[in-house]
Amino acid sequence: MSLEKVKLIFQEIKNCTNWSVFLLCYNHSKRNGTTYNCRKIELEPDDRTNKLIDSISETYTNDSKNRLSSYVDVREYDGTCNGTTIYKISEEDNNVDIDLDALFQGIANLDVETDPMTLKPQAYGISGEIKLDGQEHQIKLISMNSPITILKNRFLHNQGKFFEIDKKVLNLRTSINVLIFDKTVYFMDMSGETLFNMERAYRNKCNEAVAEIKTMAIISDISIFESTATTGQNPRRFTSFSKSKLQLLSQKKNRDKAAKYFNIPLTADKKMFDTSEKNNAEKLVKLLCGKAMWDIIEEKPVEVDGTKVW
């Protein structure tokens, strides 16, 4: 999906009048995975929700300075954190594993009984439908800011005096951090990562990839490589791990080529990458995860933020 289509979505939300607004609580557990609990809320007067939607739409599409103007592209989620990129995770994306169905189930089973002011929601969301290209599409907008808060240094005026607001209030911001279009997730910024426990997702991907690499007999020091690959920024890099590159490196001629162009030394017998030093192991990680490229003009290796089709 292009930036133009993202903008079209934010424009079209104005034309939907049947929205559900909800407080969103989520919990990440090793044993139970991620659970989502949603409390439906109603805004008064009746048209207040539509006014909120209009404000969100204007925030992202008005003709002067809008929030979409700060983005330059839409890219598959690859673990990078470029502030000018919208990252997407589509249903068929095999790079990362998120439990989108659990979120949908939480939204479908909206709670209407719990006192909302007793909750500690981490976000709020809006769910509805829009028509695009003649078809109905499910839309979910999620703002990753705690919507229930106590305002500090805020006062109400009454009978000539100002009295401090000491009660919790509902604060619905117009900044959207996660857009879900049918079953495709768009991160407008990286705060949305916490909604799906992305750290767990890319660490799982990293561990699976490292286990496969260890079986390939292409690295000399498995322990150094494993400790390097699974720490620091490297687990995040494995979001864009390329199995095809790994298979190519199973051939000696390609290992020779990688050693030559990316300065990754080989062992004395020229059969494996010498990963006895952390620096060399890190270079191999970057190569396998799309962060190493060859500059054909200056003829030198360069580290890149990420790659996409030319």
**How many angstroms separate the CA atoms of 104 and 244, rounded?**
33
What residues does 136 pair with on adjacent strands?
Answer: 131
Q: Name residues whose C-beta falls within 8 Å of residue 67's C-beta, 6 or more positions apart in sequence.
A: 59, 60, 175, 188
Q: Which of 187, 195, 234, 30 is nearest to 93 (CA)?
A: 187
Asked if residue 19 lies in contact with residue 127, where contact means CB atoms within 8 angstroms, the answer is: yes
Give the N- to C-terminal CA distance of the chain in Å, as an integer. 16
pLDDT for 305: 80
Q: How deeply is 8 buried, as exposed, middle or buried, from its count of CB atoms within 10 A (0-12, 13-18, 19+)?
A: middle
List, for residues 44-70, the tens digit of each pLDDT value: 998 999 999 999 999 999 887 899 999
Asked if residue 234 lies in contact with residue 282, where contact means CB atoms within 8 angstroms, the answer is: yes
Asked if residue 275 lies in contact with residue 281, where contact means CB atoms within 8 angstroms, the answer is: yes
Below-50 pLDDT ranges, the chain: none
Q: What is the pTM of this model?
A: 0.88
Alpha helical stretches, state H, the chain: 3-12, 48-61, 100-108, 198-214, 222-229, 234-237, 243-248, 252-262, 278-288
What tokens does 269 get? 């017998």
Q: Which of 261, 188, 266, 258 is nearest to 220 (CA)?
A: 266
List, for residues 88-147, the tens digit of each pLDDT value: 998 777 678 888 999 999 999 999 999 999 999 999 999 999 998 889 999 999 999 999
pLDDT for 31: 84
Asked if residue 94 lies in contact with residue 106, where contact means CB atoms within 8 angstroms, the answer is: no
pLDDT for 296: 87
**How many angstroms separate the CA atoms of 177 and 46, rounded?**
26
Q: Which of 233, 245, 241, 302 is nearest to 273 (CA)?
A: 245
Query: How many CB atoms are closer than 10 A to CB 300?
Result: 10
**How many angstroms separate the CA atoms of 144 and 125, rounded?**
9
Q: How deeply is 28 buried, as exposed, middle or buried, from its count of CB atoms within 10 A (0-12, 13-18, 19+)?
A: middle
